[in-house]
Chains A and B, each alone.
Chain A
Amino acid sequence: MNAIEAQELTRDFGATRALDGLSFAVPRGQLFGLVGADGAGKTTAIRALAGLIALDGGRALVAGRDVASGGSLVRESLGLVPQQSSLYPDLSVAENLRFFARLFCLPKQDFRERSARLLGITRLEPFAGRRADALSGGMYKKLALACALLHRPEVLLLDEPTVGVDPVSRRELWALLHEFVAEGMTVLLSTPYMDEAERCHRVALVHEGRLLLEGEPGALLDDFARSPACRQTAPSFETLFLARLEQADRERERGDA
């Protein structure tokens, strides 16, 4: 069964079409990567799945419920780590955690156990009393992740969690995500870094609000290596995605002509 389903998602911002019939599905317990350049529509797609923006067309389902009509049941089943800062800078690490736990009405004992574990695995325990605005970029992202995971969501949405994070924190973040997925959580994340695709169970390449490519990373690379478009002996995701983006641009130009 799919934990996330994006069905023909369409959204316009004025004259700009941010989502153009985007469709994909994420089975339960998988780590799904939404890859694309800046402005591809990744953030809009994640916001649509989180119910933060209204859709002009299509349907988004999370944990089997329609996001548009699911209300708080949908929100209780998902955790979100937005791209931009989303925490309270004047509140400490512990206070931010306590606030979000209270929004999800977590019992006190449950909160104590959960926050202790999350502070432990994110290595934020020594900084529990530090204000959020005094954390480094990597620590801030980990705190945002911890806040989103407190209530044990079925689905975790992360919008470019590794942008602006140093390589060590980045590696730790990926390790954490794999740990949560191993526990049964479904994770969808967006990234502009093509090389991060191989860390996902499945990836989707998004361009101008449309899906260009979707599949398991290994299978995608194998297919590409056998295709005439590949001019390298050991192709990378970067070359694969760039080749597909160029092809999409050529197709659009032909269409325009």
Chain B
Amino acid sequence: MTSRQGRFLRRVAAMAAKEVLHIRRDPRTLYIALALPVIMLLLLGFGLSFDIERIPLVVADGDRSAASRELARAVFGSRDFAAVAGSDARAAQTELRRGQAMAALVIPAGFARELDAGRDSPVQLLVDGSDGNTARQIMGKIDAILRAHGGSRAGFADSPPLAVKVSTLWNPASRSALFMVPGVAAYLLAIAAVLLTALTIAAEWERGSMEQLFASPVGRLEIVLGKLLPYLALGMLQLLLVISLGTTVFDVPIHGSLPMIFVAGLLFLTGMLGQGLLVSVLARNQLVATQAGALSSLVPSLLLSGMLVPIENMPWILQALTVVVPARYLVHALRTLMLKGGGFQVIALDLLALLAFAVVILALATLRFKRRLA
């Protein structure tokens, strides 16, 4: 190692050690880094669940036969529905209107007789359509139950001509948590990482210490790297926390390579911390840096990462924008590694994109970081 390289490393280490002291003495930093992601993951992990269970359903049994009771038992036999008392179709509609039930299954009189005669015996399903997503899920679940029940009884209309066995791969129970937790992890890391570094260079400008730094031999890259490293370590701790919570609290499996999850996380955090540094370099003011940092990380990682809405469903212009959103690649990498399994081969392109973003954004932050006060 030449003495020039040695001096470079010593100055980077000096900046990093100073930053560690700031972090240790500022509870806000530790809160943003460690407590915020945990609280947010718990809130979003539970709050953003699209799973619906124990849907209140009223059965208006107009037939009161063994066959109609058998059908009702089949419906309530799954944990998807909870019984709401009701007598006839009119009472069922009243329960729907009052919001006591979200669906009503109306079994007409003569249901058993028609079945016994081998004829179609239609039943009516009334669904509260004010929440389209829930309504679609109710219709899907009832349809599946009726088909299964009809298959065993024979005689239901619309029995499928072919027996299709549907298997949902990687998330057989279609649990939202499995889909959401990797996405939420990327979202939280993005916000925390950008906010952490957005404040750090702006704080140097505000407290006047930048003047003293610029008067010393420390270089721009040394300042940027020295500020980046401690937050990178903190970010990796965040990632570990988020992944641990995901696997323990939300039972999200990790079928793929754990080291690759951390490699993807490391590259993503480097890019997002670099984005925070760039914001900080441009803003020179902690208030503006916080707002710009939050906006530049929150909106893209929430809406353009594929976390909530599949990228393929977006208008083409937004799809094009997602190409420069690093959260998109981490969401894909985490979902692939955690749910589907595999290692480097399956996320190589994601890693490449994250690396490219990190290099470009750090180069930009360093170049825009002028060694001048005015």
A80 and B215 within 8 A (CB): yes
Interface: B117 (CB within 8 A): no
B22 and A53 within 8 A (CB): no
Q: Report chain B residues within 8 Å CB of A105.
A: 7, 10-11, 217
Residues in B4-24 with C-beta less than 8 Å from chain A: 7, 10-11, 13-14, 17-18, 21-22
A92-109 CB mask vs B (1 if < 8 Å, else 0) is 000100011011110000
Interface: B317 (CB within 8 A): no
Given contacts A53-B374, A87-B212, is CB(A103)–CB(B218) below 8 Å? yes
**Distance in Å: Cβ of A174 to nearest Cβ of chain B:** 22
Interface: B65 (CB within 8 A): no
Bound form: Cα–Cα A51–B373 in Å: 9
B212 and A86 within 8 A (CB): yes
Interface: A72 (CB within 8 A): yes
The B interface, classified by DSSP as helix, strand, loop or mixed, is helix
Q: How many A-B residue pairs have CB under 8 A?
A: 81
Bound form: Cα–Cα A84–B207 in Å: 9
Residue of B nearest to A153 (CB): B215
Given contacts A52-B372, A91-B18, A103-B11, is CB(A82)–CB(B217) below 8 Å? no
Residue of A nearest to B214 (CB): A52
User: What number of A residues sit within 8 Å (CB to CB) of B?
Assistant: 31
B177-217 CB mask vs A (1 if < 8 Å, else 0) is 00000000000000000000000000000011101111111
Interface: B312 (CB within 8 A): no
**Distance in Å: Cβ of A100 to nearest Cβ of chain B:** 7
Interface: B219 (CB within 8 A): yes
Q: Which of B22, B207, B219 has the most CB of A within 10 A?
A: B207
Residues in B209-246 with C-beta less than 8 Å from chain A: 209, 211-219
A88 and B209 within 8 A (CB): yes
A82 and B372 within 8 A (CB): no
B209 and A86 within 8 A (CB): yes
Residue of A nearest to B210 (CB): A86
Residue from B17, B207, B373 within 8 A of A89 (CB atoms): B207
Given contacts A72-B217, A75-B215, is CB(A103)–CB(B208) below 8 Å? no
Q: Report chain A residues within 8 Å CB of B22.
A: 88, 90
Chain B interface category by residue count: 20 to 34
Q: Report chain B residues within 8 Å CB of A99.
A: 14, 17-18
Interface: A28 (CB within 8 A): no
Interface: A85 (CB within 8 A): yes
Bound form: Cα–Cα A144–B26 in Å: 23
**Distance in Å: Cβ of B256 to nearest Cβ of chain A:** 42
Given contacts A85-B207, A95-B21, is CB(A54)–CB(B11) below 8 Å? no
A102 and B13 within 8 A (CB): yes
B373 and A80 within 8 A (CB): no
B374 and A103 within 8 A (CB): no
Interface: B165 (CB within 8 A): no
B216 and A103 within 8 A (CB): yes
A86 and B14 within 8 A (CB): no
Residues in B251-277 with C-beta less than 8 Å from chain A: none
**Distance in Å: Cβ of A116 to nearest Cβ of chain B:** 20
Bound form: Cα–Cα A76–B218 in Å: 10
Bound form: Cα–Cα A52–B228 in Å: 24
Given contacts A102-B10, A103-B11, is CB(A90)–CB(B215) below 8 Å? no
Q: Report chain A residues within 8 Å CB of B25.
A: 90
Residue from A13, A80, A85, A88 within 8 A of B18 (CB atoms): A88
Q: Report chain B residues within 8 Å CB of A80.
A: 211-212, 215
Bound form: Cα–Cα A82–B213 in Å: 11
Q: Report chain B residues within 8 Å CB of A88.
A: 18, 22, 207, 209
**Distance in Å: Cβ of A115 to nearest Cβ of chain B:** 15
Residue from B208, B213, B372 within 8 A of A53 (CB atoms): B372
Bound form: Cα–Cα A85–B216 in Å: 16
Residue of A nearest to B25 (CB): A90
Bound form: Cα–Cα A72–B11 in Å: 13
Bound form: Cα–Cα A104–B218 in Å: 8
Q: Report chain A residues within 8 Å CB of B218.
A: 103
Residue of A nearest to B11 (CB): A103
Bound form: Cα–Cα A86–B213 in Å: 9
Bound form: Cα–Cα A79–B216 in Å: 8
Residue from A82, A95, A100, A102 within 8 A of B211 (CB atoms): A82
Q: Report chain B residues within 8 Å CB of A90.
A: 21-22, 25-26
Interface: A6 (CB within 8 A): no
Given contacts A53-B374, A90-B26, is CB(A85)–CB(B214) below 8 Å? no
Bound form: Cα–Cα A47–B17 in Å: 28
Residue of A nearest to B13 (CB): A102
Give 9 new A-B contacts, CB below 8 A, not counting A85-B208, A86-B208, A99-B14: A53-B373, A75-B216, A84-B208, A87-B212, A89-B207, A95-B18, A103-B14, A103-B213, A105-B10
* List of 3 A-B pairs having minimum Cβ-Cβ separation, nearest first: A102-B14, A80-B215, A72-B217
Binding site for B on A (CB under 8 A): 13, 47, 50-54, 72, 75-76, 78-80, 82, 84-91, 95, 99-100, 102-105, 144, 147
A-B contact pairs, 14 of them (CB 8 A): A50-B214, A72-B219, A75-B215, A82-B212, A84-B211, A86-B208, A86-B209, A88-B209, A95-B21, A99-B17, A102-B10, A102-B14, A104-B217, A105-B217
